[in-house]
Structure 1
């Protein structure tokens, strides 16, 4: 009788294990537990997405100055939103006449912009100020 008792317990343990495996597989197939430590919550996903979407550089306070009879200047403020020093950074603008035709470019550059640093730039363009009606930021390059 002792032999049969051991076999009976082994079968019961095997059946219980099989039922637990089936329940685990069914739970996973149906979506599992959404409160898992591995799954970020909605706020965590929003923060991650916002950090990924933040531009490395932000330009504000842009204004065109045509008061010089020989050159056009685009003034602005650039902020380094990265956690790294930028050894070299450049802004480039296209300059357009009243018909929308490009008549020149304006450039400015600087070195060693610190993390979170703010640079007040003046991009210089050689187009005749009386030709220039508008401008467009074309590129911000930093490394």
Structure 2
């Protein structure tokens, strides 16, 4: 008796449809990879530009407003300072020079606070002990 002839099959990698499928898969992977890189680069670039713009327009410690107030005994310079960073300042100080009506410096005053948190606003109140103060100037706001 004769043995039936077995049909020899070509290996998978020698078939035409295998190579067509492989080419489509490679094109899909390449296209997906390049789109992701461009998107990530663009997003990073936009975020960097936004951070630079924020830092250029707003100082870390920003004086929002200030004014002179008088109670029955003393004068005060009051105002608000905002922490525009994402860190807590363990100490913040506002320094103010005081002037008489001739523009001569007659004194100075300060106020300070501990632990000014990110994005928070501090309502400062610096006492004036001098009698002949006509004007003032905030000369420094510092923190660490």
Same fold (TM over 0.5): yes
Q: Which residue of 2 aligns with 1:101?
A: 104
Within 1, Cα distance between the matches of 2:86 and 2:135? 33
Root-mean-square deviation (Å):
2.6
User: Which of 49, 63, 69 in structure 2 is aligned with 1:65?
Assistant: 69
What does 1:1-143 correspond to in 2, within 5 Å?
Answer: 47-53=50-56, 54-69=58-73, 71-128=74-131, 131-143=132-144
How many equivalent pairs are there?
Answer: 105
Shift of 1:85: 0.2
Preserved CA contact (<8 Å) 1:93 1:107: yes
Within 2, Cα distance between the matches of 1:39 and 1:116? 27
Shift of 1:62: 0.6
Q: Deviations over 1:65-122 (max 9, x none)?
A: 23343x3310001110011000000001001111000111121000011000111110
Shift of 1:59: 1.2
Preserved CA contact (<8 Å) 1:107 1:125: no
Which structure's CA Rg is the greater one? Answer: 2
Q: Deviations over 1:7-30 (max 9, x none)?
A: xxxxxxxxxxxxxxxxxxxxxxxx
Stretches of structure 1 lacking an aligned partner (at least 5 in a row): 1-36
Normalising by structure 2, we get a TM-score of 0.62
Stretches of structure 2 lacking an aligned partner (at least 5 in a row): 1-39
Preserved CA contact (<8 Å) 2:61 2:142: no
Normalising by structure 1, we get a TM-score of 0.62
